[in-house]
């Protein structure tokens, strides 16, 4: 099938399922978003229609699409203004690791459970003392009786409360060099030994959790890449994390920009020269993201390494989003600070961006780390 045929198929499917479609959100779903009934119906439709797990082999219910084909599908969903559902980290982060490093039995067992929604994953890499320098992690895994028992402290676990499984790294050989003694474990969260506590965030929500693990058990079957072979598996997961959303993101940022324009017009704020200048600058940055996305797609099509471009893009979109959040509130004047009515700590869509965007400079490799990558790989500077 050509890319044009694939695009046409996606457009036709979306048109036929408009009644259950969930509208696209802004640039990012709020970090504490909890899927509702409507999200579930839309996910079911997309699963039945073959619009999830697109990169997976057909044997596991995927369509074996290339990155470029997936970009095309994402663009069609985004252009139609509807969200393309996915199965979270199980689909996007665990599956690439399983496909690259799992045994045939592990793939047969775990992948269908991700696709059906039976297993929902969260990521247990970070610890209180370990984030950027992941190989320093301290959580221990003790291998005995055909199982690994995990004891330690994980933190900043996005969507932890929605998950029944955690993919984590733990140290199974404390005497080995630090990258070599780690194991990548798929840990059931409902088997005891897991004390998960929500962490309240700036936005008022609790999209994060921390976990105190005390002898939590996973069978050795759940260790991917073999005991002490976890580092390269984790690198596959982190590579997948960074390649994620390259061209589709433009549409989300553009939707948010247009929404702000609409609000400022309604509040008669567009005559202010400072507001106009700031909006023009923001618009240029959104358009640059569109071009960067296209450039990455073109480079991938030509078979070239895009890791440096992805590092540049990560800095661009996350810094832009912080600036846009501030602009959105400043440009509205004092009204920008008024919270919507409601119980708890309600925030409107722009307050959500302003508060939620700060963490994205840290998530997925901090922007300082991305600058290090650019310094080394692009500019050839010494370490
Ligand atoms: C929104 C969000 C979602 C997240 N979701 C998850 C999740 O689901 N699962 C999970 O495991 N983790 C998650 N994290 C955690 C995230 O991966 C870590 O916060 C991140 O890796 C940074 O680690 P740290 O917080 O320990 O900071 P540190 O690594 O301690 O860094 C502190 C500061 O030092 C700088 N720094 C560190 N090393 C260097 C260096 N070599 N050169 C230059 N500067 C350096 C950093 O840039 C930063 O400014 C999430 C974080 C956020 C904000």
pLDDT at 244 over 80: no
Give yes or no for residue 247 CB within 6 A of ligand 1.
no
The predicted pLDDT at position 353 comes to 95
The predicted pLDDT at position 240 comes to 77
Alpha carbon nearest to ligand 1 atom 37, residue: 132
Once rounded to an integer, what is the mean pLDDT over residues 330-335? 94
Give yes or no for residue 366 CB within 6 A of ligand 1.
yes
The CATH classification number of 245-378 equals 1.20.140.10
| 237 touches 94 (CB < 8 A) | yes
pLDDT at 166 over 70: yes
Give yes or no for residue 236 CB within 6 A of ligand 1.
no
pLDDT at 377 over 90: no
Which two structure tokens, joined as six digits, stand for 13?
Answer: 């499917």
Minimal CA–CA distance to 171: which of 193, 140, 209, 127? 140
Once rounded to an integer, what is the mean pLDDT over residues 78-86? 92
The predicted pLDDT at position 185 comes to 98
CA 139 – CA 127 distance, rounded (Å): 8
Q: Around Cβ 60, how many Cβ atoms within 10 Å?
A: 18
Q: In the chain, helix, strand, coil percent, each to 5? A: 50, 15, 35
Q: Which atom of ligand 1 is nearest to the CA of 367?
A: 47
Once rounded to an integer, what is the mean pLDDT over residues 183-208? 94
Confidence of residue 29 (pLDDT cuts 50, 70, 90): confident
The predicted pLDDT at position 203 comes to 85
CATH superfamily of 99-239: Butyryl-CoA Dehydrogenase, subunit A, domain 2 (2.40.110.10)
Report pTM.
Answer: 0.94
CA distances to 102, 151, 183, 293 from 220, rounded to whole Å, are: 12, 16, 10, 41
Query: Over the stretch 3-25, which tens digit does the pLDDT of each residue have?
Result: 999 999 999 999 999 999 999 88
The predicted pLDDT at position 25 comes to 84
Burial of 188 (0-12, 13-18, 19+ CB in 10 A): middle
CA 10 – CA 52 distance, rounded (Å): 12
Alpha carbon nearest to ligand 1 atom 40, residue: 369
| 104 touches 76 (CB < 8 A) | no
Query: Over the stretch 254-311, which tens digit does the pLDDT of each residue have?
Result: 999 999 999 999 999 999 999 999 999 999 999 998 888 888 888 888 888 888 888 8
Please give the distance, rounded to the nearest whole angstrom, from the Cα atom of residue 354 to the centre of ligand 1.
20
Domain-by-domain residue ranges, the chain?
A: 3-85, 99-239, 245-378
Q: Note if 241 is an active site residue.
A: yes
Please give the distance, rounded to the nearest whole angstrom, from the Cα atom of residue 126 to the centre of ligand 1.
8
Residues 6 or more apart in contact with residue 55 via CB below 8 angstroms? 62, 63, 64, 65, 66, 67, 70, 96
Mean pLDDT across the chain: 93
Query: Over the stretch 102-160, which tens digit does the pLDDT of each residue have?
Result: 999 999 999 999 999 999 999 999 999 999 999 999 999 999 999 999 999 999 999 99
Alpha carbon nearest to ligand 1 atom 15, residue: 156
Give yes or no for residue 164 CB within 6 A of ligand 1.
no
């Amino acid at each position: 099938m050509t890319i044009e045929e694939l695009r046409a198929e996606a457009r036709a499917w979306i048109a036929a399922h408009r009644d259950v479609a969930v509208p696209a959100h802004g640039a990012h779903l709020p970090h504490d978003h909890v899927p509702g009934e409507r999200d579930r119906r839309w996910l079911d439709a997309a699963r039945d229609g073959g619009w999830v797990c697109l990169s997976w082999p057909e044997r596991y219910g995927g369509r074996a699409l290339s990155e470029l084909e997936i970009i095309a599908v994402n663009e069609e969903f985004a252009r139609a203004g509807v969200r393309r559902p996915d199965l979270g980290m199980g689909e996007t982060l665990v599956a690439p690791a399983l496909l690259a490093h799992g045994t045939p039995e592990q793939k047969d067992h775990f992948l269908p459970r991700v696709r059906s929604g039976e297993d929902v994953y969260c990521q247990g890499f970070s610890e209180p003392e370990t984030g950027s320098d992941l190989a320093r992690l301290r959580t221990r895994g003790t291998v005995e009786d055909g199982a690994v028992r995990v004891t330690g402290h994980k933190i900043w676990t996005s969507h932890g409360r929605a998950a029944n499984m955690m993919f984590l790294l733990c140290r199974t050989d404390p005497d080995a060099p630090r990258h070599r003694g780690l194991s990548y474990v798929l840990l059931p969260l409902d088997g005891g030994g897991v004390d998960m506590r929500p962490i309240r965030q700036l936005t008022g929500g609790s999209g994060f959790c921390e976990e105190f693990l005390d002898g939590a058990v996973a069978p050795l079957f759940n260790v991917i890449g073999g005991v002490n072979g976890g580092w390269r598996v984790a690198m596959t997961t982190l590579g997948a994390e960074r390649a994620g959303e390259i061209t589709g993101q433009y549409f989300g940022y553009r939707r948010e920009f247009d929404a702000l324009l609409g609000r400022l017009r309604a509040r008669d704020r567009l005559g202010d020269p400072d507001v106009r200048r700031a909006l023009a600058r923001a618009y240029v940055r959104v358009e640059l993201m569109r071009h960067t996305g296209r450039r990455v797609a073109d480079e991938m099509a030509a078979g070239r390494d895009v890791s440096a471009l992805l590092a540049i893009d990560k800095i661009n979109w996350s810094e832009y989003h912080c600036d846009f959040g501030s602009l959105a509130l400043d440009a509205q004047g004092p009204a920008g600070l008024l919270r919507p009515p409601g119980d708890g700590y309600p925030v409107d869509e722009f307050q959500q961006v302003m508060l939620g965007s700060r963490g994205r400079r840290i998530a997925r490799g901090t922007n300082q780390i991305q600058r290090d990558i650019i310094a080394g790989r692009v500019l050839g500077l010494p370490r």
